[in-house]
Amino acid sequence: MKREVPVAISALVGLVLLIDYFFKIPSIRTMATEIQDWGLIIAAFALALAAVNLLRIHVSRIGKWNRNSIHSFILVAAMLITVFSGIVLGRQSKPFDFIFQAIFNPLASAFYAMTAFHLASASYRAFRAKNAQAAALLIAGVLLMLGRAPIGEAMWSRFPKIADWIMGVVNLAGSRGILISTAVGMVGVSLRVLTGIDRSHLGGGAE
Amino acid sequence: MEFFKRLGEIDNRVIYILLILSLLIPLMKPLGLPISVGAHTRRSFSVIDKLQAGDRVIVDISYSVSGAADVQPQAVAILKHLFDKGAKAIFVTTVTEGPMIIESLVKPWEQAGKRYGVDFCNLGFLAGGENAIAMYCRDIKKAYPTDYRGNATSELPVLEGIHSAGDVKMYIFFSTQNSDMYVRQVTQYKIPIIGGLINTIAPQAEPYVNAGQLAGILVGLRGGAEYEILMKSPGMGVASMDAQSMGHLLIIMSVVLGNLSYFLTRSAKPVKKGAVK
C-alpha cells in the first residue's frame, strides 16, 4: 500500500491533466484546476519548509559555536530582519525596499558579474583549439561575439550576417534535434510514471 | 619563443585589470558605436506595435536580479512601448524577487500618472514554476486571490472580464530560464507570445520562433538596446553596448593570444612518458 497508493495518485493526477489539455471537458477542467491549485499550495509549503529547515540547520550551527559560525549568524540575522521588515513593516515599507534595492540587488548583481572574470581567465587559459571540434567551437564562438557586439559590425559589416547564419542554421538544426529528442524522451518517461513502471519519483529508485 | 612562453604564463590579475578597464572606460566615455537592429527585435516590435489603447497584456517578470543586466533593459523598453500605446499590463512572476523587480519597474510610471489597478497591477509571486504558469493562465483570479499590494483581484478594474490567458491580447515574458515551459503552457490560448531572454538561453528558443510558437524574442542586452533604438529612446541598453563590445574584444584577444602561446610553445614542452596527448 505504501507504494501502490502514491503510484495510483500520480497516475490519476497525470491522466486528469492530460485529458484536460487535449479534450477540454468541463467536468475534467474543474478537477484539473483544483489539482493545479493544490500544486501551488504544495509548492508554497515546500518553500516555507525550506526556509524553516535552513533556519533550523544554521541555528544549530550557531549553538555549536566555532570560527565558521559567524556565517550562520549573519545568514540567520539577515533572514530574520528581512522577514520582519516584509511581514511586520510591510512590503511597501522603506526598510524592506532598502534591503532589496541597496543590499540584495547589488550583492546578487556583483556575485553574477564575477563570472565575467572567470570567463576572461578561462578564455585565456582553457579555450584551446586542441582538435578539429574544439577549433570549430572556438571559431563559431569568436564569430558570434563579433557578430553580436557593435564593434564587430564596425570592423566588418558582414559579421552580423555570419552570426545570424550560425544562429539560424547551425544552431537551429542542433537545437531542434535536441528539443525533439528530449520531447520524445519525456513522453516515454511520463508514460512510465503514469503506468507505475517508473517509481523513482517515490524515492526508492526505478523498479 | 621566450616572449610567447611568458605570454602563456601571464598572471590572472593582469587579465582582471584589463577586463575592468575595458568595461569601465566605455561606460564613462561612450564610444558611440552604431547598433543595427536584428530581425528578432524588429519582429517583436512590430507585434507589440499592433496593440491598441486599452488592450491588456500579461507580463511575466521571471528573471532574477543576477540576470537583470541582460534582461532589464528589454523589460524597461517594452514597458515604455506598452504604456506609450495605452496598453494595460498585468504583472506576474514565478521568481521570489520578481515582485520587487516589478515594483521598481513601475515606480517611474506610477509617478508619471499611471494608476495602479487601472493601468497596471502587480499580482506578485506564485510558487511552483511551470505549474504556476499553467495555473494563472488557466484561472488568474483563482491563482491570485489578492495582489502584491494586498488588494482583492476581483476588485481590480484592470482584471475586469479576465478569466484566463485567452482573455488578454498578448503574453510577454522576461526570463533567465528556458522558454520551453512558456511555450508548453501558453500557446494553447492562441495569443501572441514574446520572450525576453538572456544571451545564453536565447539559442534554445530559436526553434520556437521559427515554428511560430513564439511571435518574437529579444536576445540579451543587445535585444534591449535594439528595442530602445526602435523606440527612439536610448537608455541603459544602448549605454551598455560599448562596454559589452570592449568586453567581447578582450575575450577574443585572450582566446587568440592564449592559442598563439599554446601552439608556439607546445613543441618546446617535454612530453612525459605515458602521458595522454
**Do A195 and A158 share a structural domain?**
yes
The total domain count for chain A is 3
pLDDT in tens, B190-201: 999 999 999 888
Same domain, B124 and B171: yes
Q: What is the pLDDT of residue A78?
A: 94
In a domain, residue B139? The reply is: yes
Identify the pLDDT of residue B187: 94
One domain, residues A27 and A107:
no
- CB-CB: which of A33, A120, A176 is closest to B254? A120
Of A111, A120, A149, the CB nearest to B244: A149
* Domains held by chain B: number: 2
Q: Is residue A111 domain-shared with residue A189, that is, in the same domain?
A: no
- The answer to whether position B170 is within a domain reads yes
Shared-domain flag, residues A153 and A103: no
Residue A207 belongs to a domain: no
Q: Are the Cβ atoms of B69 and A124 closer than 8 angstroms?
A: no
Query: Residue B44's closest CA among B262, B193, B229?
Result: B193
Side chain identity, residue B148: Y
Q: What is the mean pLDDT of residues A91-110?
A: 91
Average pLDDT over residues A40-68: 93
Question: CA angle, corner B244, sides to B243 and B245, nearest 5?
Answer: 90
Residue B157 lies in a domain: yes
Which residues of chain B make contact with A146, given a CB cutoff of 8 A?
248, 252
Query: How much is the ipTM here?
Result: 0.83
Grid cell digits, residue B65: 536580479
Give residue B24's pLDDT band: very low, low, confident or very high (50, 70, 90).
very high
CB B151 within 8 A of CB B44: no
Cβ atoms of residues B80 and B120 within 8 Å: no
Within-domain flag for A206: no
Q: Is residue B39 part of a domain?
A: no
Q: How far out from the chain centre does Cα A1 lie? A: 34
Q: Give a yes or no: residue A205 inside a domain.
A: no
Residue B268 scores a pLDDT above 70: no
Same domain, yes or no: B63 and B108 = yes
A45: closest chain B residue by CA:
B127
Domain limits at A8?
Answer: 1-89
Are the C-beta atoms of B218 and B209 separated by less than 8 Å?
Answer: no
Whether A155 and A79 map to the same domain: the answer is no
Q: What is the pLDDT of residue B2?
A: 77
Do the domain assignments include residue B64?
Answer: yes
Q: Is residue B50 part of a domain?
A: yes
> CA of B254: which chain A residue's CA is closest?
A124
For residue B49, what are the domain limits?
45-234
Q: Are residues B111 and B230 in the same domain?
A: yes
Contact criterion met (CB < 8 Å) for A160 and B36: yes
CATH number for position B60: 3.40.50.10160
Cα distances (angstroms) measured from residue A73 to each of A1, A69, A95, A107, A155: 44, 6, 20, 18, 53
| pLDDT at residue B274 in the model | 57
User: Same structural domain for residues B67 and B89?
Assistant: yes
- Assigned domain for B169 exists: yes
Contacts 24+ apart (CB under 8 A), A32-37: A32/B138, A33/B135, A33/B138, A33/B139, A33/B142, A36/B131, A36/B134, A36/B135, A36/B138, A37/B135, A37/B142, A37/B143
Same domain, B85 and B127: yes
Nearest one of B225, B168, B169, B167 to B196, comparing CA atoms: B225
pLDDT of residue B7: 77
Residue A116 near residue B254, CB atoms below 8 Å:
no
Chain segment B43-72, per-residue pLDDT in tens? 999 999 999 999 999 999 999 998 898 899
Residues A100 and A141 both lie in one domain: no
Which residues 147-186 in chain B show a CB within 8 A of chain A?
148-149, 180
- Does residue B260 share a domain with residue B150? no
Q: Is B256 exposed, middle or buried (0-12, 13-18, 19+ CB in 10 A)?
A: middle
Phi, psi of B146 (to 5 degrees): -130, 160
- Domain for residue A29, yes or no? yes
The answer to whether B153 and B159 are in contact (CB under 8 A) is yes
Contact across the interface for A36 and B135, Cβ inside 8 Å: yes
pLDDT tens per residue, range A152-207: 988 998 998 999 899 889 988 998 899 899 999 999 998 998 888 888 877 755 44
Decide if A78 is inside a domain: yes
Same domain, A142 and A171: yes
The span from the CA of A1 to the CA of A11, in Å, is 15
How much is the average pLDDT of A64-80? 93
Q: What is the mean pLDDT of residues B257-262?
A: 87
pLDDT digits (tens, 9 = 90+) for B224-254: 999 999 999 988 899 899 999 999 999 999 8
